[in-house]
Amino acid sequence: MTYTQAKELLEKYGQTQLLEYYDELTPEERNILLSDISKLDFSVLENLGTHGGKPLGKLSPADALSVEDIAKRRKEYEEEGLKAIREGKVAAVLLAGGQGTRLGSSLPKGMYNIGVTRPLTIFEQQMNNIFDVVKQAGCMFHIFIMTSAINDRATREYFKECNYFGYDPLKIHFYEQKLAPTCSKDGKIYLEEKHKVSLSPNGNGGWYASLVEAGYAQFLHENGIEWLNIYAVDNVLQRICDPVFVGATLKSGCACSGKVVQKTSPEERVGVLCKEDGLPAIVEYYEMPADIAALRDPDGKLTYRYGVILNYLFSVEKLDKIYGDKLPCHLALKAIPHIEGGVKVTPAQPCGYKFETLAVDIVRMMGSCLAFEVEREREFAPVKNKTGVDSVESARRLLELNGVKL
């Protein structure tokens, strides 16, 4: 793209501030900037002022398989799940494209060291969890790892350096999600450097679209992969392709399922799996009205008690049917480093928006979802922050509780 073409394009979208420092740049820097501009997705800016979607519909609690229900049919579910895994029908998708800004490390979140007396990264711990299933099933399943342009190289190199933790490298597939521009509250796209547009991963909602765009639709089809288990990188107790979960989902006839834990309090900051206008939905903690979150059943349990832990199983057949349907775009107000008045500023307070689509919105589109309750001490140890709630400290405690030597 030439300077004139870039200028014309930016004039159309009212974003000419991106060329403010063009005259000061070296030829190489100019090329970087023009290339960034040529790849920009301006359509996300249409979401400004919408605050991520429509008003909430009529909520009702989800029907769930409780821990007790599952215990009664455990063997049966497990056999069904192991059969599907052995037949190659199930693959895992690790969502590792996020930036982990709250952890404050510039490395991929999965490379964060959670060890105490020895190095143990989140990636390694999750691979150890996967090996539990591999041993049980007697085979390895395919694992897709979604990265972003920001952490793709470091992630791939790390896995290679670690010899893929003993996993078959031919069964590990990396692919990149897209980036979206960030902008100020008044909708002006930020520069991260004078020669670089500020970009951030466009949310975890695009995981399937990016997988297809990376050319894997045919691969899934050719390899008979019918179910995809997506999971977040930041839960070190994540059980991946859990045979009991897989078996229960298959038996339920639902198009997807989600692992849930009982919320500890109405205020806990997790999304709630419930129904909205009769359809499965995940309502984020900041969208849930406080009076509804506080409702209790006659037995004292929270009526909306099932918190999601970002571990879902999706039917590929159904994903293909809804492919192309537009996901809502959420605006996340964040502290975004950017160039202001010719210098780089790193604000302490949120100053602008990142644009993200969310995997939870796909659940809504699947039409049916099994809520599958798991014990939180066994399966939910999120690493979101450095200290305090959902932190490295709390995750370490939970890992030790589960017999992991740190």
Interface residues with ligand UTP (CB under 6 A) are 95-102, 109, 146, 177, 201-204, 232-234, 310, 356, 384
Of 203 and 266, the one with the shorter C-beta distance to ligand UTP is 203
Residue 23 CB, shortest distance to ligand UTP, in Å, is 34
CA dihedral of residues 206, 207, 208, 209 (deg, nearest 10): 40
Supply the DSSP string of 201-229, one letter for each residue: E--GGGHHHHHHHTT-HHHHHHTT--EEE
Residue 20 CB, shortest distance to ligand UTP, in Å, is 28
d(CA 214, CA 178): 11
Of 82 and 391, the one with the shorter C-beta distance to ligand UTP is 391
- Cβ-based neighbours of 59, under 8 Å, separated by 6 or more: 274, 275, 276, 281, 283, 292, 304
Of 271 and 280, the one with the shorter C-beta distance to ligand UTP is 271
Residue 105 CB, shortest distance to ligand UTP, in Å, is 10
Of 77 and 355, the one with the shorter C-beta distance to ligand UTP is 355
Of 125 and 177, the one with the shorter C-beta distance to ligand UTP is 177
Per residue, the 3-state secondary structure of 244-313, as one string, reads: HHHHHHHHHCCCEEEEEEECCCCCCCCCEEEEECCEEEEECCCCCCHHHHCCECCCCCECCCEEEEEEEE
- C-alpha distances out from residue 161 to 126, 148, 236, Å: 17, 19, 21
Interstrand relation of 352-356 and 330-334 (parallel, antiparallel or unpaired): antiparallel
Residue 284 CB, shortest distance to ligand UTP, in Å, is 10
Residue 211 CB, shortest distance to ligand UTP, in Å, is 12
Residue 178 CB, shortest distance to ligand UTP, in Å, is 9
381's enclosing H/E stretch is none
59's enclosing H/E stretch is strand 59-61
Residue 158 CB, shortest distance to ligand UTP, in Å, is 15
| DSSP-H helix ranges across 14-73 | 27-38, 67-72
Of 102 and 318, the one with the shorter C-beta distance to ligand UTP is 102
**Residue sitting closest to ligand UTP (CB):** 98
d(CA 75, CA 287): 38
Q: Please name the residue that has the structure tokens 């793709």.
A: 152
Of 22 and 174, the one with the shorter C-beta distance to ligand UTP is 174
